[in-house]
Amino acid sequence: MDSRDKDRTIETWLVRLCGRVQGIGYREACVRRAQAMGISGWVRNRMDGAVEVMLQGSPEQLADMCKWLRDGMSAALVNELEVTELHPFPRFDHFERLPTL
């Protein structure tokens, strides 16, 4: 991250997805997409069958990523996407896959 990135407005969103989102490579695809978009944060499966994603970036980046989370992977069937904006939140420096919670 260069100094220009530190000056831009960033937001932190916690996204919870329900539906057919586990066991199909969703987290790996999510990591690749977030990294390609310059978004930092993490993704993990939850024991209840949901996927949880912490996203950090510009509002435009996060909105685009949420569109991808809902419709970007043909094997997934997202029935519910819930976004919670978090204020304030420390900055992440990359995007990674976490163990199941």
Domain around 60: 3-97
Helix (H, G, I), strand (E, B) or coil at 71: helix
Helix (H, G, I), strand (E, B) or coil at 79: strand
In this prediction, the residues of the chain whose per-residue pLDDT falls under 70 are: 1-8
- What pTM does this model have? 0.86
The domain tally of the chain equals: 1
**pLDDT for res 4:** 46
**CATH code, 67:** 3.30.70.100
Q: Which residues are catalytic?
A: 27, 45
**pLDDT for res 6:** 53
**pLDDT for res 84:** 97
Residues 71, 52: contact at Cβ < 8 Å?
A: no
